[in-house]
Amino acid sequence: MSRPIRRVAFYGYLGSGNVGNDATFEAVLSWFKSAHPNVEIRCITIAPAEMQSRYGIASVLLSSIPADRGGNQVMWAARKLLGRLLDLPRSFYLAGSADAVVVPGMGVLEEKLGVRPWGLPLWLFLVAAACRLRRRPFVLLDIGADWAVNPVTRRLYVATVGLATHVSYRDESSAATMRRAGARAPEAVAPDLVFAHTAPTRAEPEAGLLVVGVMAYYGRGDDPVRGADVRRRYAAEMAEAMGRLADTGDRVVLVGGDRVDIDVARDIRAAVLAACPSLSDDAVLVRDVATFTDLTNEMMRADVVVATRFHNLICALRLARPTVSVGYAEKNRHLMQALGLDVYCQDIEQFDADHLVAQVRAARVDKAAFATRVRDATSGYAGQVESLLDRMADEALGLARACATESS
């Protein structure tokens, strides 16, 4: 690095409708505004118009050609190939558009949910290489990782980590996975960035209110037939559990964690009301949440939460709400295990309605001890995230040293 850091570009799937991804960005954005208000923030993302509209931040498209599937299969494949060729010079241009590129959290080194090597794995590698060529810092900040079965994806991830100026992971499992893959050691491991989000964490719950974070889950493979069956089974089991709980007096609020989840929530509500005609319409409601603050406001009212998406789980734990995780990835279970709450976990692929009903009732009985355990275990998480951000800014971006120089 041979230049002062005045412009930082955040890179990733930001503004695309995923509440967790945007929450990690918001946590780091808030910290930058407080700690380094003179640094200009911009975004490199798949949804630049949304980021510009929501945050007023100058944003550009991550790829050369938007990643839509318009047209027939042949035309789509041709556009995709052309786009990947154009991404080579575009990555070099993007790396030069800022003094540093930061990937703020997210599971960018994960292979779950249909990640292909020529999508984000390649884009990350190209921008990391371009930053190295242009002598710009490239930061993988508090990211998540899992074992990439595809060897091309795995090699791209390892190479990207090797090119980074700073690498930190959001849990020990991610760090161990990348070590196993052959990646270099990280600078740090810290809790997820969202534990330092500015959304409130204190409110009195409403007795008997169950907030359920659902997900449009189609399985871990890329089989459209099996995927549809997986989604149907998940929705049916969730509807069965919610119907039984609502029939015994619970009020249920269904929320998502991504804009694609809303249809699943509506399907579950319709199935519950069809199976339990004696329930009133407001016994099961759907709330369309667009931001992490919206999600927090819903979960603050709950006395028990059921969460499927990872950052829905984090949202509930920040509030110290008794929580059951119906997780789609090992990261959900690892987080609960770290808090000694493995008994409140299920795997979405073996999801069982009877077990969920029992877990919700047990969590409600155990709510005082649950809340105390979670608060005690997570009380220092926000401070650890802020320490990580201070360290990253100092060691990778030179911002602390630059401030000291300017003030002297």
DSSP H or E run through 340: none
> At residue 296, what are phi and psi to the nearest 5 degrees?
-60, -45
pLDDT at 308: 96
Residues in contact with 75: Cβ distance below 8 Å, sequence separation at least 6, in sequence order: none
In a domain, 323, yes or no: yes
Q: How far apart are CA 130 and CA 132, in angstroms?
A: 5
Same-domain check for residues 218 and 87: no
pLDDT at 400: 65
Q: What is the DSSP letter of 296?
A: H
Q: Is 210 helix (H, G, I), strand (E, B) or coil?
A: strand
DSSP H or E run through 347: strand 345-347
Residue stretches of the chain with pLDDT short of 70: 1-3, 66-83, 113, 221-225, 400-408
Same-domain check for residues 54 and 172: yes
Same-domain check for residues 358 and 326: yes
Same-domain check for residues 374 and 276: yes
Helices marked H in 182-276 — which ranges? 224-247, 262-275
In a domain, 107, yes or no: yes
Q: What is the pLDDT of residues 203-250, one digit of tens each?
A: 889 999 999 999 999 987 656 667 889 999 999 999 999 999 999 999
CA distances from residue 306 to 38, 290, 302, 400 in whole angstroms, order as listed: 41, 18, 10, 41
Same-domain check for residues 227 and 180: no
Q: What is the pLDDT of residues 125-160, one digit of tens each?
A: 999 999 999 999 999 999 999 999 999 999 999 999
Burial of 49 (0-12, 13-18, 19+ CB in 10 A): exposed
Nearest C-alpha neighbor of 324 from the set 353, 299, 344? 344
Same-domain check for residues 90 and 182: yes
pLDDT at 68: 58
CATH number for position 91: 3.40.50.11930
In a domain, 397, yes or no: no
pLDDT at 222: 58
> At residue 396, what are phi and psi to the nearest 5 degrees?
-90, -35
In a domain, 391, yes or no: no
In a domain, 241, yes or no: yes
Same-domain check for residues 225 and 185: no
In a domain, 72, yes or no: yes
Same-domain check for residues 175 and 29: yes
Total domains present in the chain: 2
DSSP H or E run through 159: helix 151-163
In a domain, 203, yes or no: no
Asked whether the beta carbons of 321 and 205 are under 8 A apart, the reply is yes
CA distances from residue 89 to 126, 127, 240, 345, 391 in whole angstroms, order as listed: 9, 10, 52, 45, 32
Same-domain check for residues 233 and 298: yes
**94: which 2 tokens?**
């993007």
Nearest C-alpha neighbor of 192 from the set 6, 350, 384, 56? 384
CATH number for position 288: 3.40.50.2000
Q: What domain range is 82 assigned to?
A: 7-189
pLDDT at 64: 73
**11: which 2 tokens?**
């890179």
